[in-house]
Structure 1
């Protein structure tokens, strides 16, 4: 599986997204981790690379492709109290590979304004206090576009969603030609956007906990007439990823990282936070994600229509060039 799909699958299970609605972005997580991996090559970073498997060259190529899409953006930055101790070689590498120059960490407002600016104000706050923060790596993703085939607002209606509990939701509806796939494991429909290569896949799995994300992305989709019924969804969530990474076997970066050559000090990662936003309505989808790696202070139409009615728990995937940039679980 491609690296973002593989990471999405791993974290989907660990975050128990089959038990609660939520969003996770492998794109902003891996981009932030990619920068983290450049600050040292000590045993802590080697352990990180062994557990969170990613090909840095492939990742940077994928980021470059997304950056060239006029409806999507992925950017990064680093703010540090020790800006004067950062080596010129590291500064040059960040500019050449990640297109930013580390800045002095001054305030929480500074960090939050950066997050807000790069997510169309959808993620206005990541931190509320920087007193215990020595350095922070940030990666931010934003996407907004209209569906190629929009839903008519007058057809939107209230109906029952059979999730963990029954609830009333506003369902969008249309019947048209869409890319459609059906296997023993899932039923899926793919929607395209007007001005972007991004696609959104809606998948109803036989069992939410057993969905294979890479199989969904690479399913044999065929153009069919589909009676489509999907609830309007808006998700905002915050993920603290330290405990999950520790479960997976990433431990040493939370103790210490020898970053003397790059950042001029020994640091430890205190937490990795991700905030996500996605809003899908009749017009299209807007999505945003920020991942922050927070370092603490020095430490050692003629055919019969197929039917896709998402009134039971389902997954929606934002996919760019067959790679998942955000996985969203709707179970309630």
Structure 2
């Protein structure tokens, strides 16, 4: 559940990112009018994807730590990629110190982040990609809101965002939720509840992912096991057993990488050593040490046990982002979002950042979903010797990631404190 707080929401930017099942279905019958003509994602050609920077690892860890600290005994799951898309949407309209703080938190300039996300969007446009992207901008059809064409063009060319004019009544909430549901194959059926009278704009980004394992689990090698929580309580689990060629080892944890079909993405499981808590492990890591930990140990394979699990998570991230140094955008007096446009009711500022995620890991593969909502208010190969075999059985709390093999960018990062 989202933490509740009183919000002033005259203009809402809604980047929604959802990693989910298969291809997207289009919904018809909306009351919105599309304004997208002439605006399209700019093709970058066959540019080789660049490896993730240490700043991306730092940002991913900082975000997870901030969320996991709130309820350390509960499962946490965030999509750094989702939040980066959300922040890129904000950066397209930010200036001054507001922009500088977001750039510092992400470790990238607005142009660099936009370029990286644009490159990913172009890659995702491939029909064979396991990752697909959809973006949209919803504007209140009103004379009181004046959104810059330059802003809409920037969102369109860098993120492929479609634009819609809508009445912002109950039909618009239905339309936005329908759009989200369609582009997440109903894994995230809704994100917007009642649209407040002050709301002027929603930005929506949907990212869809589904991938089977490169080598699906044989059901014969799924067996009952026991998962022991950090407080000593135990849970019955279905443990999926396999041998993985990528074994990971650091000072406080061991792990493995299990590839999805085509080796485009991989699942990373990190098991803290005996006597080390998940919090201890997360506190010990920074971008450099996480990057090093994700390097497989030579000539070593992993005898792996991965429990079948499902996690649903939701949080409001303004405090977490503020802890990373993004503060001005949440302050009505200091926020500078003038490049988005203007409102008759006053200057714009972010009033909330909602994040919601879902993941299901089973014998066939993984499906996952994430949404990020930013609300803005206006004052209202093998060696000759036999490989060494190491055991990594995730039968106690662990950290996991889904990473893009081409760049090793964390798409999801989370903790499993109990198995549901």
Per the alignment, residue 389 of structure 2 pairs with 305
Q: Is the 8 A contact 1:145 1:196 kept in 2?
A: no
Alignment gaps of 5+ in structure 2? 1-52
- Pick closer, same or farther for the CA change 1:89–1:177 going to 2, 3 Å: closer
Shift of 1:3: 3.6
- Whole-Å separation in 2 of the counterparts to 1:216 and 1:246: 23
Per the alignment, residue 206 of structure 2 pairs with 140
Q: Is the 8 A contact 1:32 1:76 kept in 2?
A: no
| Greater strand proportion | 1
Per the alignment, residue 175 of structure 2 pairs with 110
State the aligned residue count: 331
Per the alignment, residue 249 of structure 1 pairs with 325
Shift of 1:198: 0.9
- Whole-Å separation in 2 of the counterparts to 1:27 and 1:308: 27
Q: Is the 8 A contact 1:21 1:330 kept in 2?
A: yes
- Pick closer, same or farther for the CA change 1:201–1:66 going to 2, 3 Å: farther
- Whole-Å separation in 2 of the counterparts to 1:223 and 1:148: 20
Q: Is the 8 A contact 1:75 1:140 kept in 2?
A: yes
Q: Is the 8 A contact 1:201 1:316 kept in 2?
A: yes
Q: TM-score, normalised on structure 2?
A: 0.72
- Whole-Å separation in 2 of the counterparts to 1:109 and 1:267: 25
2:355 to 265, 274, 283: 274
> Is 1:150 aligned to 2:234, yes or no?
no
Q: Is the 8 A contact 2:244 2:257 kept in 1?
A: no
Shift of 1:240: 0.4
> Is 1:121 aligned to 2:175, yes or no?
no
Alignment gaps of 5+ in structure 1? none
Q: Is the 8 A contact 2:78 2:414 kept in 1?
A: yes
* Structural mapping, 1:36-51, within 5 Å: 36-51=90-105
For residue 135 of structure 2, give the secondary structure of its aligned residue in structure 1.
strand
- Whole-Å separation in 1 of the counterparts to 2:260 and 2:329: 40
Per the alignment, residue 309 of structure 2 pairs with 233
- Whole-Å separation in 1 of the counterparts to 2:325 and 2:251: 33
- Whole-Å separation in 2 of the counterparts to 1:33 and 1:203: 28
Deviation string, structure 1 residues 119-157 (Cα, Å, up to 9, x no partner): 221111112111153322222222111111211223322
Please identify the structure whose Cα radius of gyration is greater: 2
- Pick closer, same or farther for the CA change 1:138–1:213 going to 2, 3 Å: farther
- Whole-Å separation in 2 of the counterparts to 1:169 and 1:23: 22
